Amino acid sequence: MSHNTFGHLFRVTTWGESHGPALGCVIDGCPPGIPLTEDDIQWAMDRRKPGGSRFVTQRREADEARILSGVFEGVTTGTPISILIENTDQRSKDYGDIARQFRPGHADYTYFAKYGVRDYRGGGRSSARETAARVAAGAVALKVLQTLVGGIEVRGALVQLGIHKVDRDNWDWAQTAENPFFSPDAASVPAWEAYLDGIRKAGSSIGAVVEVVADGVPVGWGAPLYAKLDSELAAALMTINAVKGVEIGEGFGAAVLSGEDNADEMRMVDGKPVFKSNHAGGVLGGISTGQPVVARMALKPTSSILTKRESIDTSGQDVELITKGRHDPCVGIRAVPVAEAMVSCVLLDAYLRHRGQTGGRVHEVGN
Amino acid sequence: MSHNTFGHLFRVTTWGESHGPALGCVIDGCPPGIPLTEDDIQWAMDRRKPGGSRFVTQRREADEARILSGVFEGVTTGTPISILIENTDQRSKDYGDIARQFRPGHADYTYFAKYGVRDYRGGGRSSARETAARVAAGAVALKVLQTLVGGIEVRGALVQLGIHKVDRDNWDWAQTAENPFFSPDAASVPAWEAYLDGIRKAGSSIGAVVEVVADGVPVGWGAPLYAKLDSELAAALMTINAVKGVEIGEGFGAAVLSGEDNADEMRMVDGKPVFKSNHAGGVLGGISTGQPVVARMALKPTSSILTKRESIDTSGQDVELITKGRHDPCVGIRAVPVAEAMVSCVLLDAYLRHRGQTGGRVHEVGN
Amino acid sequence: MSHNTFGHLFRVTTWGESHGPALGCVIDGCPPGIPLTEDDIQWAMDRRKPGGSRFVTQRREADEARILSGVFEGVTTGTPISILIENTDQRSKDYGDIARQFRPGHADYTYFAKYGVRDYRGGGRSSARETAARVAAGAVALKVLQTLVGGIEVRGALVQLGIHKVDRDNWDWAQTAENPFFSPDAASVPAWEAYLDGIRKAGSSIGAVVEVVADGVPVGWGAPLYAKLDSELAAALMTINAVKGVEIGEGFGAAVLSGEDNADEMRMVDGKPVFKSNHAGGVLGGISTGQPVVARMALKPTSSILTKRESIDTSGQDVELITKGRHDPCVGIRAVPVAEAMVSCVLLDAYLRHRGQTGGRVHEVGN
Amino acid sequence: MSHNTFGHLFRVTTWGESHGPALGCVIDGCPPGIPLTEDDIQWAMDRRKPGGSRFVTQRREADEARILSGVFEGVTTGTPISILIENTDQRSKDYGDIARQFRPGHADYTYFAKYGVRDYRGGGRSSARETAARVAAGAVALKVLQTLVGGIEVRGALVQLGIHKVDRDNWDWAQTAENPFFSPDAASVPAWEAYLDGIRKAGSSIGAVVEVVADGVPVGWGAPLYAKLDSELAAALMTINAVKGVEIGEGFGAAVLSGEDNADEMRMVDGKPVFKSNHAGGVLGGISTGQPVVARMALKPTSSILTKRESIDTSGQDVELITKGRHDPCVGIRAVPVAEAMVSCVLLDAYLRHRGQTGGRVHEVGN
């Protein structure tokens, strides 16, 4: 990962600002011969799209992903896939104050100090709007994984909204499509609605935790030591706007476990190795174990709030500012499909490199 | 980060196995003209060295880091610095069982499945012994940072040992050199000794949390979007053996904060921007803010324990195994200097790229 | 260089096929604060544009380069610059034969064998049309070089058309803008016109040699050993369609030189080091010397000719084919601005990395 | 290629100076399960070793390549292979003049200007001694290629010594092992001996041309557009000391060819595609064609000669200097095994990436 590109053999470069004419990505190294249409991408775009409920930004974007290259007669050709998403709802307005003031907790100040110039409209490059391009790339990655490897599912859920966690005994993936929070726990929804309505009406915001589970990942993906699968997942998730923490498997909970409790014991069942637990979250020594890959990320509350905060401006004056405009009261919600997309891209890239170095076969016990 | 190399302009490649003749690293892209001797490295090696107390592995290694290239007449030349560390205490013994059995919670099984072959002696490449090479590289990075930038300190501490956390009101960096845990809280030490003695005598192990703070990092380091400073820190820390979670600033705690509480407000003080808090942990939008960079990582308990666990072997048979030998009851302790090293390398690499793209100057407010 | 991206700190990714809706590039790592408009790019696009004379393809393209991101209020922001060039003159026609047959000397067969699928329309990804995106990127690189470093000029010329070489005694850079060949030798033009008219009317094609000279490059750019400036130039030029050879300075002529003749002697003149000759072509040990950087590349004749050739098709049948359509009788001509663009990008990338590792200062003798 | 590393999935990092204690390389990404011993490397080291005849430097080095990691019980493990070669014949002497003077045509001045410091002993990092590490890596690459793919041979020859070219009608690979020039033309040897004896005794030096042919490379390797196989070969060969030009197939000769003459026509023979000629040198569109891959490189004469030349020194004074010591009168000779090594590494790296992206199968016509 470097600059605005991530991945090695399956490599994604994103570009674009919140209020520019368009944004997009170039996907390079995609395996050839994979059936791919814009519909394979659009369903994922729609999941992340703003304006879907009162709990996300009211900006209206069609978020239509247009494929400009790399696909011919319905299949990928192995050449770069350029995807373009037009911005259509950039409101023209006076940015006077935002242009000169730094929102506390936002990237405004650091972009200014680093570059001396920034596109302040809607956060410019640092806006979560950029994640639309990631979702497009992730949809391509998932399609490739499901075509080449089969049996892989990458699914995310919101597991904590501020102080409220889901009840894992109620976990039902199907529920994530049935409520505006991507919650897997139907019982959580009424309380979350009331809680987030209160925050939204107060012009405030709140943090969250997102969990992504990849089922069906074979053993062997990931390349120790500095391309460990968990390291690449951590890097990828930490690039998502507002993310401040990343965990694999037990994560921070592992700190209080004993070696006995943490060990995922194994048995042979029907001639296959089977783990009796998954504290590891599907990764040992940086290599996938064959169990579900489980990653979580914590997101801070968005810094765009209606409460007055102290800050400074570009001329070096103290100011007090509030941030008006259309914002997500909890950026964690729309981060769910973004996290899925990043995990999909990381997994495919790990698979392709694994196939490159080793041929991709699994060495089975007893052979 | 890829394969066994991390970094872009300041790039470190490590090699070597636990029980091979030696291990080491090649540091490439080091700025020229930096005074550097083996003493600049050895103090760091000594902090990580095994055998220092009863709470770490009893393996005895001098861990002498020898510079083979890239330094001439006492200064770096800009060419690759090769560092060699000989292994001297690899006990010759019968590895019969370990050679064929997979320790639960260890990389044994995944290396086998991925590569079909592995150096099983002492964990081979997946052994924490590899981190000696990282510590050498980190010492070089720190020397460069302190020479070129000045005023930077990178310090780590153990902040949680199993269920016991330090009392942050007692925080004193000087204490980390005074106890075998790198604890910054002198008051924690007696309880930790008793607690870990119990675990050690039971042949068990326990997890931990390590915190690293980099003071003196200027504003502007880190390159959005996929070379964000926090993303690179997360990737680097997650490559350390046994790490399962990484946080920046408030980390997972940010999930329960409101936008008001999380905002780090700013004021001009003596003509300089000053933050009134540091929930961000020194990184906003992937770029350093000028405040201390704060990262934490959670480590699982080592999988090498004396309690019998169920597993399988290479021939596909169920087995029950215990792991004898010299091991750390809490790998988190010796991970402290390793985490410092990784943070130092990431910071220097970010600085060099920042200097490359922008010239390295900070754009100050009011200009 | 890898996949469809070249460069390290100044990094260019291109995408697009000859007959797709558009093509373009993403420029990443561009220094911030550089004034940049579409006009800064368009003049270069116009030099490469098809349809300018009877000696190049008659395809008509406006080749308007549109900046979609990374520039705000007229200056670069340090974020990715996405440039889009629409294809407007892709003739709809029956590609039946080309779709199934492999043109001898063309990439048709190798793309088919590698990917199993290819966009056969106009050569798809392997078409020289892709070089439009390179020229756009090169124009940006040149603008940055001239802004940051100053005094740099990167100029190309056609120095050999088939068997006809320019007379170097007649060299006048201004002439390259005055004839359809980019020839620096006005006296060469009539003979070249007659020669190429003959080839063109015969439906044949011919090879060529292009030379690029970069004046004003300071000493110190390039990073031994595997990022040597000459190695990066060679790699970049060799990626241009039809290029089969690359030289620096004396090039293949150096094989017959003695050490005495090849040595570029030095003297101090007005307190500055001055070379008395430039056999090295401005690069020693992979690092620029401060003299003009001189690179040459040889291009084969285009494989699209009207003479019947033996080949095979996708069904494994022998065929005889001729290639109709609009083609360049000498692809070397329009390769001149492409070569300039690649050299500009390589130089800027080398400069930024040099600035990153060393700070960018030159160590002068006598200090 | 960047810094001191080349390759992507099969990646080689070299380190070391001419007169340091040792030099070596780290090979990362090597496929696992390949039988590998030090003997597999030593034969190649011996071909490049100094002191083999009066036509090469009289420095005496055993050049024993020692494997320190990455191989266990005789097979590669997929982890980094560290190879160490000790320097044993660095003569201790007074380097006073060389330390301060810049040899014309040498990297002395550019290293000084770039880094401000250099290891002047024997050329330091810029010495051809570094190529010992490349040869070790190339031997590993060749072993892997021959194990995984089979049928591949990579062979080099000196085809031009100053003004004398080999007679290609006399080409016999076996002869390259029978004379001190790696000449494939036995008839060339007496004349070359006399010619080079004259140059050697005069304290002069001369340039040369080396050709490498890789037989048995399947169709499909190389990744357009910026990882074209020919581009990677050009980059790799241009990093070799003294190389000033690189060609593929017809190379610069292609400039005078017509499209008819240059086209490599194809026919189906026994159900397989067969080319009737190989002007392309085995690469079309950046992808291997299945024909022999043919690359040539031109080397300048070494700059270390006994004739007095004008130069300057570090204090900014004009000087006249001659270069005593042990040097190659024609560096092209010992560059033959180095070129073979670089080609082997490039090919393996291309193969592994091809296998990664596409699975590695060839799409055959008629299917």
Residue ranges of chain B whose pLDDT lies below 70:
1, 90-94, 96, 325-326, 367
SS3 A351: helix
Can you give the pLDDT at residue C83? 98
Cβ atoms D224, C106 nearer than 8 A: no
CA distance B242 to A230: 11
**Strand partners for D67:** D83
Say if residue B54 carries a ligand binding annotation: yes
Structural domain boundaries enclosing D329: 8-358
Cβ atoms C106, D284 nearer than 8 A: yes
Report DSSP letters for D298-312, one per residue.
EEPPPS--SS-EEEE
Interface of D with B (CB under 8 A): 3-5, 11, 13-17, 20-24, 26, 28-29, 32-33, 68-70, 72-73, 75-82, 84, 114-119, 124-125
Contacts with D119 from chain B: Cβ below 8 Å: 72, 77, 79
Global pTM value: 0.97
Give chain A's domain count: 1
A366 within some domain: no
User: Are B255 and A298 inside 8 Å of each other by CB?
Assistant: yes
B1 within some domain: no
Cβ atoms B32, D116 nearer than 8 A: yes
Report DSSP letters for C28-89, one per residue.
ESPPTT-B--THHHHHHHHHH-TTSSTTS--------EEE-SSEETTEE-SS-EEEEEE---
Tell me, what DSSP letter sits at residue A70? S
A302 within some domain: yes
Cβ atoms D83, D66 nearer than 8 A: yes
User: Are D29 and A224 inside 8 Å of each other by CB?
Assistant: no
**What's chain B's Rg over C-alpha atoms?**
21
Q: Give the nearest chain A residue to C117 (CA atoms).
A: A77
User: Are B20 and D69 inside 8 Å of each other by CB?
Assistant: yes
CA distance C25 to C16: 9
Can you give the pLDDT at residue D49? 82
C230 within some domain: yes
Contacts with D332 from chain C: Cβ below 8 Å: 255
Q: What is the CATH number of the domain that holds C33?
A: 3.60.150.10
Contacts with A311 from chain B: Cβ below 8 Å: 265-266
Q: Give the nearest chain D residue to A356 (CA atoms).
A: D356
Residue closest to A20 by CA, chosen among C283, C70, D257, C258: C70
Residue closest to C243 by CA, chosen among D220, D280, D345: D280
Say if residue B344 carries a ligand binding annotation: no
Say if residue D127 carries a ligand binding annotation: yes
Say if residue C57 carries a ligand binding annotation: no
- Quickly tell me which residue has 């000279």 as its tokens: C213
User: Are B117 and D29 inside 8 Å of each other by CB?
Assistant: no
Can you give the pLDDT at residue A332? 96
Burial bucket for residue B91 (CB in 10 Å: 0-12, 13-18, 19+): exposed
Residue C363, φ and ψ in degrees, nearest 5:
-85, 110
B364 within some domain: no
D144 within some domain: yes
C364 within some domain: no
Length of chain D (residues): 367
User: Are B259 and A303 inside 8 Å of each other by CB?
Assistant: yes
Task: For residue B227, give Cα distances in angstroms to B49, B162, B224, C29, D203.
Answer: 32, 33, 5, 11, 53
Sign of CA dihedral B97, B99, B105, B109: negative
Identify the residue among B13, B114, B266 best suited for mutation to test binding to A, counting A beta carbons within 10 A and taking the highest: B114
* Continuous segment of H or E residues that includes residue C237: helix C229-238
Q: Give the nearest chain A residue to B315 (CA atoms).
A: A366
Can you give the pLDDT at residue D59? 73
Tell whether the model's pLDDT for residue C97 goes beyond 90.
Answer: no
Mean of per-residue pLDDT scores for chain C? 94
Nearest-by-Cβ selection for D9 from A32, A79, A357: A357
CA distance A75 to D57: 57
Can you give the pLDDT at residue A324? 76
Give me the tens of pLDDT residue by residue for chain A, a chain 367 residues long: 679 999 999 999 999 999 999 999 999 999 999 999 999 999 999 998 877 788 877 777 789 999 999 999 999 999 999 999 999 876 656 676 778 999 998 999 999 999 999 899 988 999 999 999 999 999 999 999 999 998 999 999 999 999 999 999 999 999 999 999 999 999 999 999 999 999 999 999 999 999 999 999 999 999 999 999 999 999 999 999 999 999 999 999 999 999 999 999 999 999 999 999 999 999 999 999 999 999 999 999 998 888 899 999 999 999 999 887 667 899 999 999 999 999 999 999 999 999 999 999 999 998 6
| % of chain C at pLDDT higher than 90 | 86
Report DSSP letters for D2-22, one per residue.
BTTEE-SSSEEEEEE-TTSSE
User: Are C356 and B358 inside 8 Å of each other by CB?
Assistant: no
Contacts with C105 from chain D: Cβ below 8 Å: 259, 262-264, 279-280, 284
Nearest-by-Cβ selection for A75 from C29, C72, C117: C117
Identify the residue among B18, B118, B256, B288 best suited for mutation to test binding to A, counting A beta carbons within 10 A and taking the highest: B256
D365 within some domain: no
Predicted ipTM of the assembly: 0.97
CA D244 to chain centre: 13
Cβ atoms A297, B251 nearer than 8 A: no
Contacts with C224 from chain B: Cβ below 8 Å: 79
- C-beta pairs of B89-95 under 8 Å, 24+ apart in sequence: B89/B59, B89/B60, B89/B61, B90/B18, B90/B19, B90/B20, B90/B121, B90/B122, B95/B120, B95/B121
pLDDT digits (tens, 9 = 90+) for C356-367: 999 999 999 986
CA distance C138 to C41: 8
Per residue, the 3-state secondary structure of D28-66, as one string, reads ECCCCCCECCCHHHHHHHHHHCCCCCCCCCCCCCCCCEE
Report the half-sphere exposure of B172 (CA within 13 A, side-chain side).
11
Tell me, what DSSP letter sits at residue B7? -
Give me the tens of pLDDT residue by residue for chain D, a chain 367 residues long: 679 999 999 999 999 999 999 999 999 999 999 999 999 999 999 998 877 788 877 777 789 999 999 999 999 999 999 999 999 876 656 676 778 999 998 999 999 999 999 899 988 999 999 999 999 999 999 999 999 998 999 999 999 999 999 999 999 999 999 999 999 999 999 999 999 999 999 999 999 999 999 999 999 999 999 999 999 999 999 999 999 999 999 999 999 999 999 999 999 999 999 999 999 999 999 999 999 999 999 999 998 888 899 999 999 999 999 887 667 899 999 999 999 999 999 999 999 999 999 999 999 998 6
Task: Point out the annotated binding site of A.
Answer: 48, 54, 125-127, 241-242, 285, 300-304, 326
CA distance D77 to B124: 10
Chains interfacing with D (3 or more CB pairs < 8 Å): A, B, C
Chains interfacing with B (3 or more CB pairs < 8 Å): A, C, D
Can you give the pLDDT at residue C56? 78
